Amino acid sequence: MKINKQGNVYTIVYIIVMVLVVGTALAVTSLSLKDKQQANADADKMRQILASARITATGGEIAEVFSAHITATPVYNTNGELIGDDAFTVDVANECKKQGDDRKLPVFVCQTEDDGTKYILPLYGAGLWGPIWGYISFDSDGTTVYGAYFAHQGETPGLGAEIEKSKFSSQFEGKTMFKGDRFMPVTVVKKGQKPTGNEDYVDGISGGTITSKGVAAMIDNCLVPYQAFLKSLSKEHQ
């Protein structure tokens, strides 16, 4: 039977076949690249964690440097009790949506070459146009910030996106999270202003007010549940 290539039936069958062929090709390609995509995502996460402890790693050396410096990946609850040992797989974005007592709190224990043991805590929040996230490393005293790293998904270049620059993150170095026994996370304020409380602070991004406030809210929301853990470090350090 001769097929009428100008008819509707031929057109419909042709479209269906092409959709199936293209769809199958895309599915196969996606599956074949899945492991590589995950490996790239994991490597970038490792790079960011290391950056918060002032350790630079690039390219194929990232995993090796991470393994050399990150000596433990415990997970705690809000009482400071150990509940797991694989911080890397904890979905911080999901945990931040939970009530404090229900959260899993991942910690990355980092051994630096010159400055001893650091404790790296992950952050996740919202900026002006999308998610923002980061990591803050603490000295062994559990209160002094050693370093910080922040990133974003879609903040405005030259404005909110500046949170990813060292000019912003380096301000956190040496700031403290406790005033006496009171836990007071470092906050972000408009340049030239001071917070109403006694907490340490850094200058926000000029023209990036909403993103700066997002960073402040992220730090508060994500670090408050770690109070018990950080206090335990402080007691060990005494």
Cβ atoms of 140 and 169 within 8 Å: the answer is: no
* Per-residue confidence (pLDDT) for residue 146, from 0 to 100: 97
Distance from C-alpha of 213 to C-alpha of 14, rounded to nearest angstrom: 54
Domain boundaries, the chain: 48-237
* Per-residue confidence (pLDDT) for residue 29, from 0 to 100: 66
* Per-residue confidence (pLDDT) for residue 24, from 0 to 100: 73
Distance from C-alpha of 175 to C-alpha of 227, rounded to nearest angstrom: 16
Distance from C-alpha of 199 to C-alpha of 95, rounded to nearest angstrom: 26
* Per-residue confidence (pLDDT) for residue 140, from 0 to 100: 94
Rg over CA atoms, the chain:
23
Distance from C-alpha of 115 to C-alpha of 189, rounded to nearest angstrom: 29
Segments in the chain below pLDDT 70? 1-10, 25, 27-35, 237-238
Within 10 angstroms of residue 191's Cβ, the number of other Cβ atoms is 10
* Per-residue confidence (pLDDT) for residue 8, from 0 to 100: 66
Cβ atoms of 135 and 76 within 8 Å: the answer is: no
Distance from C-alpha of 190 to C-alpha of 146, rounded to nearest angstrom: 23
Distance from C-alpha of 87 to C-alpha of 77, rounded to nearest angstrom: 12
